[in-house]
């Protein structure tokens, strides 16, 4: 599965909705996350959070405690990163409360705004 991460104005995301509305065709479901600025993107995708997602992809679901040990990190900082990634929809929890990543790929698109 793939999720898409965009950096640009959220108004750009409305195009699929408008097209579906005008044509009456159902829009394809998309896993998408949009940041208004590169700063927001960088704050969300820190190197430590990226490493955390890579470990989960390679090793499978883990408790936050297990994940902190695997990463050699403090539990509190790992918990904070997991919480943020859960809020963004990049991680989820299974029935045993273990965190996991569902995505095989994260596509990132950087949009340049036109001059005003």
Domains of the chain are: 2-110 (1.10.10.10)
pLDDT, mean over the chain: 82
Q: How far apart are CA 99 and CA 79, in angstroms?
A: 10
Tokens in use for 67? Answer: 């994940």
Q: Tens digits of per-residue pLDDT, 55-77? A: 999 999 999 999 999 999 999 99
Assess whether pLDDT exceeds 80 at residue 92: yes
Taking the model in full, what pTM does it have?
Answer: 0.74
Q: What is the length of the chain?
A: 116
């Amino acid at each position: 599965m793939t999720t898409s991460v965009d950096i640009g104005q959220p108004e750009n995301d409305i195009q699929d909705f408008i097209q579906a509305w005008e044509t009456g065709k159902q829009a394809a479901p998309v896993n998408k996350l949009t940041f208004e600025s590169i700063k927001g993107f960088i704050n969300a995708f820190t190197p430590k959070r990226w490493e955390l997602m890579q470990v989960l992809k390679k090793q499978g679901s883990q408790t936050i405690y297990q994940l902190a040990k695997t990463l050699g990190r403090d539990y509190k900082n790992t918990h904070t990163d997991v919480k943020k990634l859960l809020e963004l929809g990049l991680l989820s929890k299974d029935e045993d409360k273990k965190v996991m990543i569902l995505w095989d790929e994260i596509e990132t698109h950087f949009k340049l705004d036109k001059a005003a």
